[in-house]
């Protein structure tokens, strides 16, 4: 692979799984970006998308908390100076 951009996107769909939202930070602390950089010619780290905490479930059972996920990711979609805001 020649070029790669990395975006940290925590994803969890149910309040009881909110610990999954910590995965992005854990992977960064374990050095995932450094490991990937060694495998590609060009690497661009676009930082992390910040999602609000899901305190209680909402929405239909097949799209649980999807509205909140969309609002958070849409609000982060602007890239300033090569990083998500």
Phi, psi angle pair for 61, to nearest 5°: -65, -30
Question: Measured between alpha carbons, how far is 68 from 71 in angstroms, rounded to an integer?
Answer: 5
Q: Is the pLDDT of residue 85 over 60?
A: no
Question: Measured between alpha carbons, how far is 64 from 47 in angstroms, rounded to an integer?
Answer: 26
Higher pLDDT, 13 or 43: 43
Domain boundaries, the chain: 3-84
pLDDT of residue 11: 72
40-55: average pLDDT: 85
Phi, psi angle pair for 83, to nearest 5°: -140, 150
Question: Measured between alpha carbons, how far is 62 from 11 in angstroms, rounded to an integer?
Answer: 16
Higher pLDDT, 77 or 41: 41
Question: Measured between alpha carbons, how far is 42 from 59 in angstroms, rounded to an integer?
Answer: 40
Higher pLDDT, 54 or 40: 40
Q: Are 78 and 85 in contact (CB under 8 A)?
A: yes
Tell if the pTM clears 0.75, that is, is over it. no
pLDDT tens digit sequence for 32-42: 999 999 999 99
Question: Confidence class of residue 82 from pLDDT cuts 50, 70 and 90?
Answer: low
């Amino acid at each position: 692979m020649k070029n790669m951009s990395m975006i940290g996107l925590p994803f969890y769909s149910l309040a009881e799984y909110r610990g999954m939202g910590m995965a992005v930070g854990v992977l960064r602390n374990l050095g995932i970006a450094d490991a990937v950089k060694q495998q590609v010619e060009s690497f661009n780290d676009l930082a992390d998308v910040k999602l609000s905490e899901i305190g209680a479930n909402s929405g239909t059972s097949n799209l649980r908390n999807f509205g909140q996920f969309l609002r958070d990711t849409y609000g982060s979609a602007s890239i300033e100076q090569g990083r998500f805001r």
